[in-house]
Structure 1
Amino acid sequence: MTTTHVAAPPKPRVAAPSGMSIGDLARRPETGALIGTISVFVFFAIFGGGQFLSAGGAASWLNVAAELGIIAIPVGLLMIAGELDLSVGSVLASSSMTVAIVSGYWGAPVIVGIVAALLLGLVVGFLNGLLVTRTGVPSFIVTLATLFGLSGLTLGLSRVITGTTSVALDPGPQAKQLLGTLVAGKFEVAIFWWIAAIVVIGWLLHFSPWGNWVFAVGGDKESARTTGIPVQGVKIALFTASAFGAAVVGVIQSILYNSAQVANGQSFVFNSIIAVVIGGVLLTGGYGSVVGVVLGTLTFSIVSQGIYYTGWNSDWAALILGVLILAAVLMNNTFRRMALSYAPRMKKKG
């Protein structure tokens, strides 16, 4: 008699409610960022009390998140592609001063100043990308040089043209309504521009072939080049988008505050990178998501603003901010390592 052996069916995986396995869910780059965002929100909801949870409290960190997020999203894509942009602070300041000088000091229509400021951002970003891709010099060095060079150029030209480092601007009601008003007296219009950026860039990164190019360039640019991906073109486009995002925030700030200063924007240089890293993007490239960057931005903004609702001495604000951000990043890295080590065990069990 011939005995037929029937293979036992594989052990089923425990699936998440959405149909995604727990291993797949854990390996998502934004999972650790989500835990960090929830943790800091609960922390400040407890210690910040009703003021933190009020509309005014929500507006304080959402407004910060919107301006930071418009810059952090393209910076995040650039880091996924394995590059850095340290020049966003100077681009923000120079764009802000451009719209103020063109439309405030010279009296040109505000739309002319806005277009000039945005074009400046596009040109600076394009030049950054061109220098990085053509010379082979690390983007850290190139954009650091741009940071200082553009900052000095903005300061020098501002003094030559206006004799001062601060220029007033009267944008008019239409520009104010589009870019610089407060909704219900608390929330900035920038929040809606941030949401638009999330939707558009999120679709490009995760649902279009171009997004696959970004991940491929960050994972292994030589392999990406051999498969026909225009590596230089992708990087130049990402540097251009990064500087354009900074220029947009520069325009928003100048219209919102009716003025511009050459010192504006320098905090965005490292704040954007911090938000991106908290969001789960690897500094080595090839890993990350738009959702993660959004969550990292929210985490940073909640921490930076929530401290002031606790009633603690503001002298300790920087220390508390540094400790909580470091804890969030360490937790995110630990969670990611645990998630990645979970994959081989799932295969063995299967």
Structure 2
Amino acid sequence: MATVSTVSASKKTSQTDERVREISKIKSLLHRPDFGAMSGVILVFIFFGIFAGDSGMFAADGIMNWTTVSAQLGILAIGACLLMIAGEFDLSMGSMIGFAGMVISIPALYWGWPVWSSIMFAFALSMGIGWFIGYVVVRTGLPSFIVSLAFLFILRGLTIALSILFTNKTIVSGVDQVSQNDWLAPLFGGEFGTSIFTWLASIGLLDTYSDGSPLVTGIPMIVVWCVLLAIASSWVLFRTSFGNWIFASGGDSKAAKNVGVPTDRVKIILFMFTAFCATLYAACQVLEFGSAAADRGLLKEFEAIIAVVIGGALLTGGYGSILGALFGALIFGVVQMGIFFSGISSDWFRVFLGAMLLIAVLFNNFIRKQITKAN
């Protein structure tokens, strides 16, 4: 009799354990930073699959269009994500795009510099400015929102003033002509896998023009850069001590300092990284379109922050993921191009973006409360 009751109790315990295990899996899924954005991506694809599926949005050239738009924002979102996890903001990213584009174009077109040296100079100068922004933030204790907002105006003003001073115009074109034989330019303005796409077109797997050339000739380098940057950043964030320092700096900066985490150095490096991401974006744009404009990157800093928040990062820091930021950027790209393909007025795009931001913040706030309760 005792044996029977023991067996019965063990069965009940086993069943209870299975249920607990299932609940635990669901909770762990809900606590993932990228869960909300992942769900959003699925819903967005379903919506436009229904309303824009016959418009060519999911043909090869349509896919490449929204993938490119998503990758452009994705590069900025990766830098913004790491910085926001560390508890800081960089509102100068959009202005840095226009500034870096002019720094690449003016020396190459007006000073006789090789394009490769202009690109390297732009990266060095932009990252130097990023270092200075980070240094001001950590040394003065001022909110990064205010410091970077100041540099948003400083960089935008410098871009307009210097472009007029050296060229007497705010749009500088002709970079594509001087970069034709440059060894570094194809890494930013070229395409990857052109031979593969030509072969796919030759066997009928891709649509072609009347002359037989494929509609999609290759993967733009900005997409390649976005993928490489995402892989490298994810590895740093989740597989290295520096990644732990990023989370610690955003979670509780004072406690992190007390246990030896160099929070100031971490934040300065991340401000330099956001400047790097903005310059990478600028270099790809300049070498793809062959021109730079003083107003390039307008409001991109806010779009990057929105993508990161939609991706699950908390505005208070200490929580987020690169994958979530990429999902946020993908939602942005798919919606922007989906509205075009479906024939919906583009005026609704900003409405959708604002609604997505509000929903993401509410969802993230709910998750934060659940995590706090669990701890």
- Residue 275, structure 1, aligned to residue 307, structure 2: yes
Deviation per CA, 1:281-337, whole angstroms, max 9, x where unpaired? 0000011111111111111111122111111233444334434x2465257437636
| Corresponding residue number in structure 2 for 1:178 | 187
Deviation per CA, 1:93-124, whole angstroms, max 9, x where unpaired? 11100110011222211111101111121111
SS in 1 for 2:17: coil
| Corresponding residue number in structure 2 for 1:21 | 25
SS in 2 for 1:185: coil
Letter in 2 for 1:38: I
Letter in 2 for 1:172: Q
Q: TM-score, normalised by structure 1?
A: 0.89
Letter in 2 for 1:61: W
Q: 2:275 aligns with which of 243, 250, 274?
A: 243
Give the paired residue count. 338
Q: 1:290 and 1:317, CA in 2 relative to 1: closer, same or farther beyond 3 A?
A: closer
| Corresponding residue number in structure 1 for 2:125 | 120
SS in 2 for 1:260: strand
SS in 2 for 1:167: strand
| Corresponding residue number in structure 2 for 1:3 | none
| Corresponding residue number in structure 1 for 2:325 | 293
SS in 2 for 1:150: helix
**1:65-80 pair list within 5 angstroms:** 65-80=70-85
| Corresponding residue number in structure 1 for 2:49 | 45
- In structure 1, what is the Cα distance between the partners aligned to 2:290 and 2:248? 43
Q: 1:152 and 1:333, CA in 2 relative to 1: closer, same or farther beyond 3 A?
A: same
- Quote the offset at 1:338 in angstroms: 8.1
**1:145-156 pair list within 5 angstroms:** 145-156=150-161
Q: 1:336 aligns with which of 367, 371, 374?
A: 367
Q: Identity of counterpart residues, as a percentage?
A: 40
Q: 1:342 and 1:37, CA in 2 relative to 1: closer, same or farther beyond 3 A?
A: farther
- Residue 231, structure 1, aligned to residue 263, structure 2: yes
Q: 1:334 and 1:154, CA in 2 relative to 1: closer, same or farther beyond 3 A?
A: closer
- Residue 31, structure 1, aligned to residue 35, structure 2: yes
| Corresponding residue number in structure 1 for 2:168 | 163
Deviation per CA, 1:228-280, whole angstroms, max 9, x where unpaired? 00010001011110111101111111101101011001131110000000000
- In structure 2, what is the Cα distance between the partners aligned to 1:330 and 1:232? 27
Q: 1:125 and 1:13, CA in 2 relative to 1: closer, same or farther beyond 3 A?
A: farther
| Corresponding residue number in structure 1 for 2:59 | 54
- In structure 1, what is the Cα distance between the partners aligned to 2:308 and 2:285? 22
- In structure 1, what is the Cα distance between the partners aligned to 2:73 and 2:86? 20
Q: 1:34 and 1:331, CA in 2 relative to 1: closer, same or farther beyond 3 A?
A: farther
- In structure 2, what is the Cα distance between the partners aligned to 1:206 and 1:70? 18
| Corresponding residue number in structure 1 for 2:253 | 221
SS in 2 for 1:49: coil
| Corresponding residue number in structure 1 for 2:203 | none
Letter in 1 for 2:69: V
Tell me if structure 2 keeps the 8 A contact 1:91–1:124.
no
Tell me if structure 1 keeps the 8 A contact 2:83–2:89.
yes
Which has the greater radius of gyration?
Answer: 2
Structure 2 unaligned residues grouped into runs of 5+: 1-5, 193-215
Q: 1:321 and 1:288, CA in 2 relative to 1: closer, same or farther beyond 3 A?
A: closer
Q: TM-score, normalised by structure 2?
A: 0.84
Letter in 2 for 1:134: R
Tell me if structure 2 keeps the 8 A contact 1:33–1:332.
no
- In structure 1, what is the Cα distance between the partners aligned to 2:220 and 2:252? 40
Structure 1 unaligned residues grouped into runs of 5+: 1-5, 345-350
